[in-house]
Structure 1
């Protein structure tokens, strides 16, 4: 196990370098004036322009720029914004908020999605199966901003069950509950359908029928064998979705006024703050790779036949 973890960590290094280089190249190699808009409506002074170009090494070739960035990254320096604020300090304020929101959304989609998938997989063809099928199709077909606005209107404004918007920089679990439900609603549909499909397939397998014919109860055969094997693709999707939720919650954060990473990256792209974009995306890439490593380690717990040695 230890050898496998070390090998996977070493494999992350070229992935991080490749991903960050692509982002770095796309951000800093964009055509146009990199200093445009940095001084408001008035043009920037020659002194400011020269200092800005020197600070971000914009007068040097792209490989040299990226090499300097990687050296700073190895020291834990994610760069500074155009306002001379360290990107790491900005992320420290936003990562806990987005992390809490994404974790709550994952817990919601995992609990509801797996439960719905198990119930419909065991009792396929019944009323509950058809109800979940129609509900998931409806959720998948509705854009996330429509779900967010409807939830905000009915559950927040009219019924008063949840706060309409987040009003603090460190929101509580209750304040993030409605945004988490909205953010995880689409994934609930995918998890439930994925769980149902895999469970139905495993229930028809020979090893489940053999276990029952040898005297194992259906509950134990379903739970010990079929359910654990059916969870493998579901865990894969949940691990991928957690990384996607961290950086892809722009719409939800905008609707509920959440000071998270998604809105921060969006604003940085809009004002062409390259250091903020590259630093935030680099952090998200590292988190995504770590989550995928944890998902791979879970495979061995769900299916003992999978070995990491």
Structure 2
């Protein structure tokens, strides 16, 4: 186990370097001048422009800029925005909000999705199965901004069950509950369909029939054998989804005015603040890799045949 984890950690290094270089190159290759609008309607003075370009290494070739960035990154420095604000401090304030939103969303999609998948899997072809299949198909077909708008109107305005928008820089679980439901609605559909498909396939397997023939109750055969094997692809999807959600759901955070990473990345792209975009995406890549490592380690708990030697 320890050797496997160490090997995976070493494999992360070239992935982080490659991903950050691609993002760095794409962000700083965008057309436009970061100095545009920095001095109001008047053009910036040559002295200020020279100092600005020197501070942010804008006069250096791309590879030199990236080399300096990686050197600072190795020391935990994500750089400063073009407004002299630390990117690390900005992310430190925003990532807890996005992490809380992502965690609530993951819990919703895991509990509801797996429960719906199990119920439809063991009652294949019944009314509940058809109802869940149609419902999930509808959820998959509707864009997330439409679901968000409808949820705001009916659950927030009409029924007044949830706040319409987040008005605090440190939102509570209650304030994030409606955005989490919206954010997890699409994933609930995928988790439910994935669980159902794999459970139906495993229930037809010989080892389940053998377990029942040896006297094991159908409930234990499903819960101990069939469901555990069926959850392996589900855990893979949930791990992928959690890593993606930690990057910030830009649309959902914009709809509900959530001060998270998604809105921060969106505003940084609009203002051409490349340092902020690269810093936020770098943290996202690192978190995403660690989440995937955790998912791989969970495979051994679900299926003892999977080892990490």
Place the TM-score, normalised by the shorter chain, in its bin: over 0.9
Deviations 1:81-138 (A, max 9, x none): 0010110000011000000001100000000000000000000100000000010011
Give the equivalent residue in structure 1 for 2:160: 160
Residues 11-54 of structure 1, C-alpha deviations (whole Å, 9 max, x = no match): 00000000000000111122332322333433222122111211
Q: Which residue of 1 aligns with 2:234?
A: 234
Q: CA–CA distance in 1 between the matches of 2:114 and 2:199?
A: 10
- Measured in 1, the distance between the counterparts of 2:223 and 2:88 equals 45
Contact between 1:37 and 1:271, CA under 8 Å: does it hold in 2? no
Q: Which residue of 2 aligns with 1:286?
A: 286
Deviation string 1:185-209 (CA, Å, 9 cap, x unpaired) is 0000000000000000111111111
In 2, distance between residues paired with 1:147 and 1:201? 32
1:68 matched to 2:68? The reply is yes
Matches within 5 A, 1:84-233: 84-233=84-233
Q: Secondary structure at the match of 1:78?
A: coil
| Structure 1 gap segments, 5+ residues each | none
In structure 2, C-alpha distance between the alignment counterparts of 1:42 and 1:251, rounded to whole Å: 34
Q: Tell me the CA shift for residue 248 of structure 1.
A: 4.5
Bigger shift: residues 44-53 or 156-165: 44-53
Q: How many equivalent residue pairs?
A: 309
Aligned-partner Cα distance in 2 for 1:8–1:226: 29
Q: CA deviation at 1:175?
A: 0.3
C-alpha root-mean-square deviation of aligned residues, in Å?
0.9
Q: Which moved more, 1:206-215 or 1:79-88?
A: 206-215
Alpha-carbon distance in structure 1 between the residues aligned to 2:40 and 2:115: 53
TM-score by length of 1: 0.98
User: In the alignment, is residue 247 of structure 1 matched against residue 247 of structure 2?
Assistant: yes
Q: Comparing 92-101 with 44-53, which one deviates more in the overlay?
A: 44-53
Equivalent position SS for 1:187: helix
Tell me the TM-score normalized by structure 2. 0.98
Q: Which residue of 2 aligns with 1:299?
A: 299
CA distance in structure 1 between the aligned counterparts of 2:183 and 2:45, rounded to whole angstroms? 44
- The answer on whether the counterparts of 2:248 and 2:260 sit within 8 Å (CA) in structure 1 is no
CA distance in 2, matches of 1:248, 1:168: 17
Determine if contact 1:110/1:191 at 8 Å carries over to the other structure. yes
Partner of 1:267: 267
Report if the CA contact (8 A) 2:248-2:263 is conserved: no
Question: Structure 2: which 5+ residue stretches go unaligned?
Answer: none
Note the C-alpha offset of 1:235: 0.3
